[in-house]
């Protein structure tokens, strides 16, 4: 083999970069907290990783084609850098190589930019952001991928992702956020690139989100799903997403209640409405719902969960595409969210005389996370 051929694909070069970066960061001196970071008088930079390795068996729903598609792949492979410059400037950068190895198998895709934003804090009521960031239109869209109750975000929450030109619920733009009433009331809003026509003269995308926390204020960039019994969370929110005639709306109730000295009772209920109208014909008028419940047993480090979701199309001509999914599973936490295993089963039930058959999906995940 010629020496240069060792690094002749994007995948090999990407893996070389990750391995080298990991070794360099591991050799850095760390403070007592063991966080991988660099710090001086004015700046703090910290580093992190996220890996979610999946096995998935999805049954076909067409008559005569109900075999199982089988995949072993990396759902998320992320490298993160974040930090602060002084007291009022913060930043976050994250790369991802999503669905690496999933059919059609591709190992040479390389990393893409997932998040890349800078925030200037004028005061607690007004902070300005710019870059690629999560679009604030629903709680599930703003939720951390490491702490879902179930294995992943619901597909009925991400209906607008492709049509709006988003990348994993993120878009390029400028945003603002702030906190009132002792940090219990918060808002997020922004103007984003959205889908662009050939001459880029069409309207930009706008989004807004308003949340009230009755218990612990949530001031993170991405919200927690389960807090594993460490926080009291009771939040209600509404959100909206718009570009030209397209509209999207959401409402949510999220609750994490510590019980029995370390256990947690968790609940998330979310309603979403999407209507692409003349702008996005690929988004029919629909009303969707996601319900999740979980109970964390801290002594056993296990968390059984259940999930129900429905996608209901308004127009009669679309009604046979409506579908329900229900199921549940189990999270097993070796070391909190840093290392956990998940098993999940979902059953899809077509509605309104659909020609499709009920089908099953079995999924498993190993998650490694540090930040």
Question: Is residue 292 in a domain?
Answer: no
Question: Is residue 172 in a domain?
Answer: yes
Comparing 27-31, 241-245, 308-312, which segment has the lowest mean pLDDT? 27-31
Question: Is residue 290 in a domain?
Answer: no
Q: What is the pLDDT of residue 9?
A: 53
Nearest to 301 by CA among 332, 269, 346, 340: 332
Residue with tokens 């179930």: 150
Angle at 217 between CA 216 and CA 221, to 5 degrees: 130
330: tokens are 């189990």
Count of domains forming the chain: 1
Query: Does the pLDDT of residue 238 top 50, yes or no?
Result: yes
Is 152:225 a contact under the CB 8 Å cutoff?
A: no
Question: Is residue 159 in a domain?
Answer: yes
24 three-state secondary structure: helix
For 207-237, letters b (16+ CB in 10 Å) and e give bbbebebeebbbeebbbbbbbbbbeebebbb
Q: What is the pLDDT of residues 52-100, one digit of tens each?
A: 999 999 999 999 899 999 999 999 999 999 999 999 999 999 999 999 9
Q: What is the pLDDT of residue 28?
A: 45
329: tokens are 């599973």
Nearest to 78 by CA among 49, 53, 52, 101: 49
- Measured CA to CA in angstroms, residue 315 lies from 101, 275, 298, 311 at distances of 38, 11, 46, 13
Query: Does the pLDDT of residue 173 top 90, yes or no?
Result: yes
Domain interval for residue 73? 3-230+323-370
Average predicted confidence (pLDDT) for the chain: 91
Q: What is the pLDDT of residues 258-268, one digit of tens each?
A: 999 999 999 99
Question: Is residue 336 in a domain?
Answer: yes
Q: What's the rounded Cα separation, in Å, for the pair 209 and 192?
A: 14
Nearest to 107 by CA among 4, 16, 15: 15
Query: Does the pLDDT of residue 31 top 70, yes or no?
Result: no
The runs of H, that is alpha helices, within the chain are 10-26
Which of the listed ranges 35-39, 111-115, 198-202, 210-214 does the model predict with the highest average pLDDT?
210-214
Band of residue 34 on the pLDDT scale cut at 50, 70, 90: low
Question: Is residue 222 in a domain?
Answer: yes
Query: Does the pLDDT of residue 195 top 90, yes or no?
Result: yes
Write the CATH number for 91.
2.40.160.10
Q: What's the rounded Cα separation, in Å, for the pair 245 and 206?
A: 12
Comparing 33-47, 81-95, 289-303, which segment has the lowest mean pLDDT? 33-47
Question: Is residue 243 in a domain?
Answer: no
The CA dihedral of 273, 278, 279, 280, to the nearest 10 degrees, is: 60
H/E stretch holding 86: none
For 336-370, letters b (16+ CB in 10 Å) and e give ebeebebebebebbbbeeeebbebebbbbbebbbb
Comparing 41-45, 70-74, 214-218, which segment has the lowest mean pLDDT? 41-45
Q: What is the pLDDT of residues 129-151, one digit of tens each?
A: 999 999 999 999 999 999 999 99
Burial (CB count <10 Å: 0-12, 13-18, 19+), residue 33: exposed
Q: Is 114 left (phi over 0), alpha (psi -120 to 50) or beta?
A: alpha
Question: Is residue 339 in a domain?
Answer: yes
Q: What is the pLDDT of residue 121?
A: 97
């Amino acid at each position: 083999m010629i020496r240069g051929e060792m690094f002749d694909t994007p995948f090999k070069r990407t893996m070389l970069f990750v391995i080298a970066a990991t070794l360099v960061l591991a050799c850095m001196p760390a403070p007592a907290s063991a966080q991988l970071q660099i710090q001086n008088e004015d700046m703090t930079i910290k580093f992190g990783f996220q890996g979610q390795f999946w096995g998935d068996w999805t049954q076909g729903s067409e008559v005569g084609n109900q075999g199982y598609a089988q995949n072993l792949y990396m759902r998320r492979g992320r490298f993160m850098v974040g930090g602060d410059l002084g007291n009022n400037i913060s930043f976050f950068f994250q790369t991802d190589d999503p669905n690496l190895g999933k059919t059609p198998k591709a190992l040479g895709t390389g990393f893409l930019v997932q998040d890349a934003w800078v925030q200037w804090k004028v005061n607690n009521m007004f902070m300005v952001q710019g870059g690629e960031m999560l679009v604030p239109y629903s709680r599930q869209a703003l939720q951390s991928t490491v702490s879902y109750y179930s294995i992943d975000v619901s597909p009925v929450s991400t209906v607008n992702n492709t049509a709006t030109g988003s990348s994993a619920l993120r878009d390029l733009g400028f945003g603002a956020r702030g906190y009132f009433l002792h940090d219990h009331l918060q808002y997020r809003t922004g103007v984003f690139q959205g889908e662009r026509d050939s001459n880029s003269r069409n309207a930009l995308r706008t989004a807004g989100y308003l949340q009230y926390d009755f218990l612990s204020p949530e001031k993170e960039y991405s919200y927690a799903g389960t807090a594993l019994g460490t926080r009291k969370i009771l939040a209600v929110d509404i959100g909206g997403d718009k570009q030209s005639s397209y509209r999207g709306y959401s409402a949510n109730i999220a609750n994490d209640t510590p019980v029995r000295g370390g256990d947690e009772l968790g609940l998330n209920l979310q309603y979403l409405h999407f209507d692409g109208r003349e702008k996005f014909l690929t988004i029919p008028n629909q009303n969707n719902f996601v319900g999740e419940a979980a109970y964390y047993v801290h002594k056993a480090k296990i968390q059984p969960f259940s999930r129900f979701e429905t996608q209901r199309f308004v127009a009669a001509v679309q009604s046979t595409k409506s579908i329900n999914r229900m199921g549940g599973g189990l999270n097993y936490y070796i070391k909190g969210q840093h290392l956990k295993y998940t098993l999940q089963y979902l059953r899809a039930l077509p509605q309104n005389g659909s020609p499709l058959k009920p089908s099953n999906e079995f999924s498993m995940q190993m998650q490694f996370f540090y930040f």
